Structure 1
Amino acid sequence: MTKIIERGMIFNSEMVRAILDGRKTETRRPVKFPLIDKNMGCELAGNELAGELAAGNHWNSPFGKPGEHIWVRETWAEAGASASELLLYRANYPEHVPPHYENVPPADEVRWTPSIHMPRWASRITLEITCVRVERLKSISDEEARSEGVVQLREGFWKHYQPGWTQHQLSARGAFATLWDSIYGFGEWDRNPWVWVIKFKRIEGDGHATD
């Protein structure tokens, strides 16, 4: 039986909660240029890479191809000697802790380990890639922005709302634009870079997809 290839990917706590809630089913990551074709040894332009992926050639994708797995790296901690088998996860702590554990410390008293230092054995979420493509960042639709995990607040505003937004910006797409700039730097949305679009479904430990 062929072993499924797995790769780790960092998600912040907000996006981990969106995955757990079933709201996040895709993620976008910048394409890092210059990109050297692994097969031909020459540089690839964004449109050339898009053409390769559209033709089913995922050779140059650093995130894998459909059917391969991503394990989620998130902020975490080991509970300690009193509960050596228990792992803590910042994204939904302490809600995820089983009720039979008593005297759970406040979140600000836990010695959290950054997501970049999470080993594979500590990861609780595995994703199966269903689609990989590249496109310009601003190609994202309102529906796709929702699939990125942005949420609408009770007041009708979208999270990451900024005062002065126009009516066009009062949307899931507008919220995603602000979220993108908060992660990658002000002005990156307007720069409209090439991005990897990775669609996925969450799977359980037995390899079956969740509903």
Structure 2
Amino acid sequence: MIPFEEWGPKRGIHLFRIDTGSVIGMPCPYGRKGDLLWVKEGFFLYGFYNKPTYKADFSEYQLGSLKCEHSSTGLRFGNWDFHWKSPLFMPKKYARIWLELTADPIPQRIQEITEEDADAEGFGGDFPHKVFPDIFFNDMGHLSIPECFGILFDTYNGPGTWDKNPWVWKLEFKRIEK
């Protein structure tokens, strides 16, 4: 019989001990070192060739004599409405951000995040109220980076999620051009 240590990691299966003391083997749904991930974004398609416009890049501009305006569901060019499509439905062929996993993903509890990793998750060395002004206020400067990340995590995943301390996959990656 071949020991797990020889075949498990090669297949992307990781062992970890849960709170009850049991050991669980689980494959990472994001892949293994060297695999490529693609990032989905909000978008809409326009024109004969269905060229994508990405929500993150969009700003107000003129389209010929038609004024472009934001509406509750998307954009309005004169009498035509263009609706933003959810990132959930973005086809892979329209992806412009590709990430290569640089290490095998490992499972960990969310509250085990290091200060360096929490900072890399979105703050980028800046003050949280400058990066996310709708979430953080100037008087939150006394909080540590992991505490700020906990607030950000609750904002995206629902109130109280940080306190439940769920298992997550720690991914290390680099952006690549494709």
Is 1:86 the counterpart of 2:46? The answer is no
Is 1:134 the counterpart of 2:101? The answer is no
1:136 deviates by 1.1
Q: How does 1:1-211 map to 2 (within 5 A)?
A: 45-46=17-18, 48=23, 60-81=27-48, 84=49, 86-94=51-59, 105-108=68-71, 109=75, 110-131=82-103, 132-150=105-123, 152-153=126-127, 159=133, 160-161=135-136, 165=140, 167=142, 169=143, 171-205=144-178
Q: Distance in 2 between matches of 1:200 and 1:73?
A: 16
Taking only aligned residues, the RMSD between alpha carbons, in angstroms, comes to 3.5
1:138 deviates by 0.8
Greater relative contact order (Cα < 8 A, sep 6+): 1
Instruction: Decide whether the 8 Å contact of 1:67 with 1:129 is kept in 2.
Output: yes
Q: Deviations over 1:155-187 (max 9, x none)?
A: 7796532687582x2x33222111111121111
Amino acid across the alignment from 2:32:
K
Detail structure 1 runs of 4+ shifted over 6 Å in the superposition: 154-158
1:150 deviates by 2.6
1:78 deviates by 1.0
Please name the residue that 1:3 is paired with: none
Please name the residue that 1:15 is paired with: none
Q: Distance in 1 between matches of 2:175 and 2:131?
A: 28
CA distance 1:187–1:112, change in 2 (3 Å): same
Percentage of pairs with the same residue: 28
1:149 deviates by 1.5
Q: Deviations over 1:10-50 (max 9, x none)?
A: xxxxxxxxxxxxxxxxxxxxxxxxxxxxx9xxx9754845x
1:123 deviates by 1.0
The TM-score, its normalising length taken from structure 1, stands at 0.58
Amino acid across the alignment from 2:136:
Y
Which structure: larger Rg?
2
Instruction: Decide whether the 8 Å contact of 1:77 with 1:111 is kept in 2.
Output: yes
Number of aligned pairs? 149
Structure 1, gaps ≥5 residues long: 1-38, 53-58, 206-211
CA distance 1:87–1:157, change in 2 (3 Å): closer
Q: Distance in 2 between matches of 1:44 and 1:141?
A: 19
CA distance 1:158–1:112, change in 2 (3 Å): closer
Q: Distance in 2 between matches of 1:184 and 1:155?
A: 19
Instruction: Decide whether the 8 Å contact of 2:102 with 2:172 is kept in 1.
Output: yes
Structure 2, gaps ≥5 residues long: 1-10, 76-81
The TM-score, its normalising length taken from structure 2, stands at 0.67
